[in-house]
Amino acid sequence: MYPQLELNRRQLLSRGSLGFGGLALSSMFSESFGSDVPVPHFAPRAKSVVFLFMEGGVSQVDSYDYKPMLSQHDGKDPHQAIGKLEKTQFANIGKVMKSPWNFKQWGESGIWASDLFPQINRQMDELCIVRSMTSKFPEHTSANYLLHSGHGLQGRPSMGAWTTYGLGSFNRDLPGYVVLNGGQIPSGGLDNFSNGFLPASYQGSLLHAIGTPLSNISPNEKSGRLQQLKRQLAMRLNQSGLQLAGGADEMESAIRNAELAARMQLAVPELIDLTKETAATHELYGMHAKNKHTQTYGKACLIARRLVERGVRFIEVLIPMVNGYQRWDAHGNIKQNHTSNAVAVDQPIAALLKDLRQRGMLDETLVVWSGEFGRTPFAQGGAGRDHNEHGFSLWMAGGGIKGGMTYGATDPWGYKAVENKLEIHDLHATILHLLGIDHTRLTYRFSGRDIRLTDVYGRVVEELFV
Amino acid sequence: MKSSAIFSFSCICLFAFAPAIYANDRLEFFETRIRPTLASHCLECHGPQKAESDLRLDHISFLTAEGSYGPVLVPGQPKQSSLYVSLTHANKDLMMPLEREKLAERVIADFEKWIVDGAFWPNEPIPAAVTEKFDLATRKNRLPWIWQTPEAQTIPKLENTRWPRGGIDHFVLARLESAGLTPAPDAAPETWFRRVHFAITGLPPQPEQVQEFLADTSDQNREAVVDRLLKSPHFGERWARHWMDLVRYAESRGHESDFAIANAWHYRDYLIRALNEDVPFDQFVIEHIAGDLLPSPRINQESGFNESILATAWPVFGEEVHSPVDIRQDECDRIDNKIDVFSKTFLGLTVACARCHDHKFDAISQQDYYSLAGFFLSSHFRQVRFQTSLRNGRIADELESLYQDTQQQLIQWIADRFRPHLSQAAALYRPSTDPQHVQYAAAEVILDFSDPNHTWQTSGNAFGQSARQVGDLIIPNDSSTDLQVRLLGAAERDPIWNSLKLSPGNEADSGSLNAVGRAAGLVSTPTFVLNDGRVHVFMQGETQVYAAVDSHLMITGPLHKALVKTLKAPQPKWLTLDLRGYQGHRLHLEFGPVGDAPLSVFQVVQGPTSPRPTSPRTIEPGKSDSVSKLENEQLLGDAVDALEKRNIRSWQHAAAISWLCKNAAQIGVDSSFAAELKKIVANYQSRRQELAAQIQTDSLTAIALMDGSGVNERILKRGKHQTPGEVARRQLPGAFPFEAADLGRGSGRLQLAHQLIDPDNPLTARVIVNRIWHHLLGRGIVASVDNFGWLGSRPTHPELLDDLAHQFVHQDHWSIKTMIKRIVLSRTFAMSSRPDDLAAEKQDPNNLFVHRMNVRRLESEAIRDNLLAVSGRLDLTLYGKPVPVHLTEFVIGRGRPEKSGPLDGEGRRSIYTSVRRNFLPTMMLTFDMPIPFSTVGRRNVTNVPAQTLAMMNDKLVYQQANVWAEELLSEFSDASAAEKIRQMYWQAFGRAVMDEELDAALVAIESFAELHEVSGDDLKVWTDLCHTMFRLNEFIYLR
């Protein structure tokens, strides 16, 4: 009658088979229940997504959106130079401010970009730069929720949750949606990775690049033998409990979960064990870099690649704690802020692109680099920039995306998107499309509505595809 | 016949002739360049469904008809075609697509070319209009039963008459028989016993209790068991948590910094008490909607405080944003959440789906949505000194009547004394100037306490029970005889209340809101719309003003800091609040106390310039004396008359009386005047002191609603606040069978509440009865417990639901406990959950017919409580401040609490663990505790390996295994290993251990001991065994 309401056991197993509530693992197991594993709507171009979240908001006019007008009008009153200005978060509008970085053309494609990310930019011909992205909110949390879940408030499933709900995972021993914690949990907290109203199994699993990798993955027992003894005893006693329950489905699948849990306990340590990676790989990702944040982020990016190799669907990499909670949120001194953040991420991201390429994985892996919004072309106070949701840049690479191109444009100030303006919903529709999902057909009925990631919006931006 | 066929043929020929290829080009151009654009950018509003402005663009015949902006399409003439013009954005009143980006120039050029070339459109029939206009009757008819008041149902006739125990069983069995199914056998007594314990209290039975019950499993004893459980204070804890899921209870505001919601937990305790006392559900609903407005609120029997008011906290448990740039949008989002929670929780309706347009499926219009919004716009957040408000309110009443009595006595006495001396007085009297009265140049009066018809609100006691009026006497608060008469009305802080304090541990509001500080007393204006943005306050003393612009609460900067400001005026003075950033926004002002500083608020106006006193009116001596004596005598006489009649309305009269009192001696009033006055005043003061001594000075504060002035929302077109439409009067959705109530001056929530609990309300009783069924049996009769509408589920047992709802209202007097008792004592509830009847499993795999009980996984809270109960660590203390959440490296993020709570949560039940929105405990989330974003009447129930890992490796589980093992070893130190294991099974699973289980456990003990190289009674060994028991499925699943 109403499929989402009356999931029978098989559906439950196929939909919510693995999962770690809170921080948790989710995955599908195709072996046991082959026919129930969700299939894409059409042939996917990408199998996995690596989302490099530049939390706080990278300035577009200091990175990928070159605006000579800012130099020409540097120091002028933006109300006069630019005209009517939108309200900003800090309501402290300074002068028009030129970029402290130099711009030049990169790669064969000759795309203009600053020298903020020299190593990434050396692979400009892999990148598709979107210069006309917009958000709906100039506040971090609302914008983070929108970017992750298509809605500005807490409670909706994150795009990674939708992805695993729609596609399952290729790996049954690892979560389908992993959030690699480089140190900085975004504004809005873990709800950015929430399953919302989807079953808990689709929640993003927080995997620490440093420290205990995953919640409840490390056994309390020191000896493997003791673990085994307990597992054997539990198996026997569970069998008799199952008999008392007359073989009830719920109890039976819980028993199967125990077996899976045991395998996960092995898979996770193997995943984060980087000793088998070559010295060259360690070097490539910056794991011996001088800057410790480069090391941390390098490790996270390398684990991201290993997750892709293991068939994990959606991987988000969080930035390290470079300047406390400041993130890319350069309200004060943008030169100092963006430089220190860029040092942390530039080499590792470049390494990830290179590594995926040389291993032949980039074409099936969609890499998305974005903040929750951009920054104002005029200063906040003296040397910072305030939040700007009206136009900012992101880039994508691999996974069916055409490299070496730009799409859309902002006005001559880099303030508002004016050409081929895109919304976050369009980004979501596009990502899902590359994964083989029609965003209008991926729905879940929650209290009276068939809800989707893109709500009633979203356009697949096919112009970006190979 | 024949000729027409020839005619058609020739037509085709004409088309098919030379221009055939051309036509094909035009067709292709149309189909690839024009029609797709129309379809994706225009038809949503101008298509067969909507036809905005009566315009459709899905057939050429509509395009060539005359439109309200001139012809939409003139073939060959793009510039005369409003279709084309609107696309070019040349006319700013007509830019299409509406509120979207202009289409690409290339696309617009296509349209130009298309029109120039004659606007080719293939010959095709006109598509039928899909009229889906909102029609209430049609919509109700779609699902008529939910709009009909539930009636008592005839008990169905059955073949098997021996099985049923009561009405419920008759309905269930009738359904089964009609499907050719038979009910499952009864569950084993211990299974029923365990089931009923978790269902009612959420805690496992004690081993002795199980054994006692097994000795007498009669129906009478079962009833006694249920009665005992329903009387247990832990019943309230279990069922309060169910309700908390509905109102998305949280103690923090989420968003970026997860700021705390101060003192939220009193609501949780209210729920526990209310459920334990079995407060009838109709009363419970009234308290939730209008507990602050009840003429006689429900009193806490133990401590005498106001219970009812605590229920009104629920609307403010939602997420709150600090520094929203679009503050009005933020308000709309908050109110949307309140409407969502309200309509799902109490009515099982998804009214929030009608925010942008009429509901797509249900009998709920967009107007209905905004009609509900008004109730929330008219109700404000406050912190209330709930523990003392009733008693201190009575003291305030007595202070007021003491004042009125004394004033009456003084007035009579003054009038009698002065009347004989008016002529003498008139000779001396000089009408004074008006020091305070002002012209409101270009100002709009918001609140004027000199106008007796003004509307204002107060909360707390510091401003007394009513405002002081023009002509009221100011009775000296010392031994002076300086009797003054008020020339201006005022809300005035009475220093007698300066003794009020906050009890230790009371939490302060996050940010600079300081509602806690205003709990002692506040003065609130009606809600108004800012025009110029400057608000001028005529006041004396010191106050902290909160400007509740768009009901924004979470004030912490960088934006909106201007909403809280301190004003100080040693002398009566006009002070200005500059709120020019908020022109056109809605707000009310709240004036609160600062320290012990006095405060009088006289007038509040808004406008560009501060009001100024008119130039003093002076009377030149000599010139007017001869004339004015007569006039003066008239004036003084009128003043005394007015005083006596208690209707002084003008400052001239008030000033005259003041003058008389001051000049009593000069005008020949008896010399005993001063002495007598002193006596009256002294008596007044001493009686005030007596009352002051009775004030309860210390109180905690809780969140409550405060009624504002009634405000109706406008219908916001497409849900956008930038496009307000018609006013939507406050009322329940039109589908309910109620006339619009007279809402009076306030919010009208009390009237709303009465409609919710009206026995004719078709949904309130059904929805709660269905929720009770859901919690007891695992699935509601309507499975989608929060949505009875079209997209929800249909009832599996509609007659049963209606019969139960009818009994609930007309027989049980809305008693939740009675309903629970009825259900758990049914034979239905007592069925086994074993899926042994294979035919039934095949026919009814989802058990919709309830042919057996459902196997249930315990909720996250029950699992944790069970751990603590079995280990012996459970601390059954009721109520109180939340225990801080235990922080692990997986409970992280901005706004993380500074201190971690203990791993075992102090042994308290899970309901007492702090609910910090962004920092929910990992284990709770693993077992599907919902994120508190909106109503979740039915939790997800997942069955995933993460849960196994949690029970295997979570530190808490391991810790409790250790506690349990210690307890076992000390309590049963002499018992054999087998005895201990038997006891463990009783404790953990409420049943006897089976032989093969016992054997397995004994073998394991030996292996553990061997591995640890210790003896078999070592703590390590038993900890390992206890730890293994916890991870058994039987520990978290109920059969």
Give which of A281, A351, A292, A391 is closest to A58, Cα–Cα: A391
DSSP run (H or E) holding B704: strand B702-707
- The reported pLDDT for the residue numbered A58 is 98
- Of the pLDDT bands very low, low, confident and very high (cuts 50, 70, 90), residue B1026 is very high
Q: Can you tell me whether residue A328 is helix, strand or coil?
A: coil
- The reported pLDDT for the residue numbered B433 is 56
Residue with tokens 């601390």: B875
- The reported pLDDT for the residue numbered A31 is 30
DSSP 8-state assignment for residue B349: -
Q: Which residue has the higher pLDDT, B1036 or B102?
A: B1036
Check whether B577 has a pLDDT greater than 70. Answer: yes
User: Is the CB of residue A36 less than 8 Å from the CB of residue A276?
Assistant: no
- Amino acid at position A95, single letter: K
d(CA A48, nearest CA chain B) in Å: 22
- The reported pLDDT for the residue numbered B434 is 53
> Which residue in A201, A238, A447 is closest to B786 by CB distance?
A447
- The reported pLDDT for the residue numbered B68 is 58
Burial B7-37 (b: 16+ CB within 10 A, else e): eeeeeeeeeeeeeeeeeeebeebbeebbbeb
Q: Which two three-digit tokens encode residue A76?
A: 């002028």
- Cross-chain residue pair A245–B894, CB shorter than 8 Å: no
Check whether A426 has a pLDDT greater than 90. Answer: yes
User: Is the CB of residue B979 less than 8 Å from the CB of residue B971?
Assistant: no
d(CA B43, CA B51): 8
Radius of gyration, CA atoms only, chain B: 37
Residue of A11, A141, A252 best to disrupt the B interface, most CBs of B under 10 A: A141
pLDDT digits 0-9 by tens, B248-274:
999 999 988 999 999 999 999 999 999
pLDDT digits 0-9 by tens, B665-686:
888 887 787 888 889 999 999 9
Check whether B1036 has a pLDDT greater than 90. Answer: yes
- The reported pLDDT for the residue numbered B487 is 83
Check whether B564 has a pLDDT greater than 80. Answer: yes
- Cross-chain residue pair A219–B952, CB shorter than 8 Å: yes
Q: What are phi and psi of A362, to 5 degrees?
A: -65, -35
User: Is the CB of residue A347 less than 8 Å from the CB of residue A289?
Assistant: yes
d(CA A380, CA A363): 40
> Which residue in B791, B857, B1025 is closest to A445 by CB distance?
B791
- Amino acid at position B620, single letter: E
Give which of B469, B430, B418 is closest to B602, Cα–Cα: B469
Give which of A457, A455, A437, A444 is closest to A46, Cα–Cα: A437
For chain A, the straight-line distance linking the first and the last C-alpha, in angstroms and rounded, comes to 41
pLDDT digits 0-9 by tens, B764-787:
999 999 999 999 999 999 999 999
Residue of A9, A20, A172, A205 best to disrupt the B interface, most CBs of B under 10 A: A20
Give which of B982, B928, B989, B1022 is closest to B206, Cα–Cα: B989
- The reported pLDDT for the residue numbered B195 is 98
For chain B, the straight-line distance linking the first and the last C-alpha, in angstroms and rounded, comes to 79
Whether the predicted interface score ipTM is above 0.90:
no
- The reported pLDDT for the residue numbered A448 is 65
Mean pLDDT of B307-325: 96
pTM of the model: 0.86
Neighbouring CB atoms inside 10 A of B66's CB total 8
- The reported pLDDT for the residue numbered B117 is 85
Length of chain B: 1039
d(CA B680, CA B892): 66
Check whether A28 has a pLDDT greater than 50. Answer: no
Nearest chain A residue (CA) to B1026: A230
Check whether A35 has a pLDDT greater than 60. Answer: no
**Does B326 contact A at CB distance below 8 Å?**
yes
Check whether B517 has a pLDDT greater than 60. Answer: yes
Alpha-carbon distances of B707 from B249, B331, B427, B457, B651, rounded to whole Å: 22, 18, 51, 8, 31
Q: Which two three-digit tokens encode residue B521?
A: 């007393």
Q: Within 13 A of B349's CA, how many CA atoms are on the CB side?
A: 30
- Cross-chain residue pair B1011–A92, CB shorter than 8 Å: no
Check whether B69 has a pLDDT greater than 60. Answer: no
Mean pLDDT of B812-840: 97
- Cross-chain residue pair A251–B924, CB shorter than 8 Å: no
Residue with tokens 């057909």: A441
Cα B543 off chain centre by: 29
Q: Which residue has the higher pLDDT, B203 or B14?
A: B203
Mean pLDDT of B594-604: 96
d(CA B894, CA B529): 36
Provide CB contacts within 8 A for B141, sequence distance 6+.
none
d(CA B286, CA B758): 11
**Does B933 contact A at CB distance below 8 Å?**
yes
d(CA A64, CA B963): 59
**Does B943 contact A at CB distance below 8 Å?**
yes
Residues of chain B with C-beta less than 8 angstroms from the C-beta of A232: 1004
Q: Which two three-digit tokens encode residue B722?
A: 């930038």
Alpha-carbon distances of B192 from A95, B238, B912, rounded to whole Å: 74, 18, 28
pLDDT digits 0-9 by tens, A285-328:
999 999 999 999 999 999 999 999 999 999 999 999 898 888 99
Q: Which two three-digit tokens encode residue B415?
A: 């009038």
Which chain B residues in 59-98 lie under 8 Å from chain A, judged by CB atoms?
none
Check whether A8 has a pLDDT greater than 70. Answer: no
Q: Which residues pair with B590 in a beta bridge?
A: B524, B546
Mean pLDDT of B448-476: 90
d(CA B301, CA B291): 17
Residues of chain B with C-beta less than 8 angstroms from the C-beta of A2: 783-784, 793
- The reported pLDDT for the residue numbered B484 is 84
Cα B356 off chain centre by: 21
Instruction: Sort residue A103 into left (φ over 0), alpha (ψ -120 to 50) or beta.
Output: beta
Give which of B204, B265, B293, B864 is closest to B505, Cα–Cα: B265
Average pLDDT of every residue of chain A: 88
Pairing of strands A384-388, A374-380: antiparallel
Provide CB contacts within 8 A for B767, sequence distance 6+.
B346, B347, B348, B785, B788
User: Is the CB of residue B793 less than 8 Å from the CB of residue B869?
Assistant: no
Average pLDDT of every residue of chain B: 91
pLDDT digits 0-9 by tens, B349-375:
999 989 998 988 899 999 999 999 999
- Of the pLDDT bands very low, low, confident and very high (cuts 50, 70, 90), residue B67 is low
Task: Give the least confident one: A38-52, A264-278, B479-493.
Answer: B479-493
Q: Can you tell me whether residue A319 is helix, strand or coil?
A: coil
Inter-helix orientation angle B625-644/B651-662, to 10°: 100
Task: Give the least confident one: B51-60, B923-932, B1000-1009.
Answer: B51-60
DSSP 8-state assignment for residue A364: G
- Cross-chain residue pair B943–A12, CB shorter than 8 Å: yes
- Of the pLDDT bands very low, low, confident and very high (cuts 50, 70, 90), residue B941 is confident
Check whether B3 has a pLDDT greater than 50. Answer: no
Q: Which two three-digit tokens encode residue A151?
A: 């809605």
Alpha-carbon distances of A296 from A21, A116, A300, B92, B119, rounded to whole Å: 26, 19, 6, 53, 62
pLDDT digits 0-9 by tens, B955-997:
999 999 999 999 999 999 999 999 999 999 999 999 999 999 9
Q: Which two three-digit tokens encode residue B383?
A: 């912190």
User: What stretches of A136-191 show up as alpha helix (H) in DSSP?
Assistant: 140-149, 159-167
- The reported pLDDT for the residue numbered B546 is 98
- The reported pLDDT for the residue numbered B799 is 97
- Cross-chain residue pair A21–B944, CB shorter than 8 Å: yes
- Cross-chain residue pair A203–B323, CB shorter than 8 Å: no
Mean pLDDT of B905-923: 95
> Which residue in A21, A91, A245 is closest to B946 by CB distance?
A21
Burial B83-122 (b: 16+ CB within 10 A, else e): bbbbbbeeeeebbbbeeeeebeeebbebbbebbeeebbbe
Q: Which residue has the higher pLDDT, B547 or B10?
A: B547
Check whether B283 has a pLDDT greater than 50. Answer: yes
pLDDT digits 0-9 by tens, A186-239:
988 888 998 888 887 788 888 987 778 888 888 888 888 999 999 999 999 999
Check whether B22 has a pLDDT greater than 60. Answer: no
User: Is the CB of residue A82 less than 8 Å from the CB of residue A378?
Assistant: yes
Check whether B21 has a pLDDT greater than 80. Answer: no
> Which residue in B558, B936, B1027 is closest to A230 by CB distance?
B1027
Q: Which two three-digit tokens encode residue B187?
A: 């569950």
Provide CB contacts within 8 A for B908, sequence distance 6+.
B875, B877, B883
- On the 0-12 / 13-18 / 19+ scale of CB atoms within 10 A, B186 is middle
User: Is the CB of residue B808 less than 8 Å from the CB of residue B769?
Assistant: yes
Q: Within 13 A of B1026's CA, how many CA atoms are on the CB side?
A: 29
**Does B337 contact A at CB distance below 8 Å?**
yes
- The reported pLDDT for the residue numbered B79 is 86
Residues of chain B with C-beta less than 8 angstroms from the C-beta of A185: 892-894
| % chain A with pLDDT above 70 | 91
Size of interface A-B (CB pairs under 8 A): 307
- Of the pLDDT bands very low, low, confident and very high (cuts 50, 70, 90), residue B438 is low
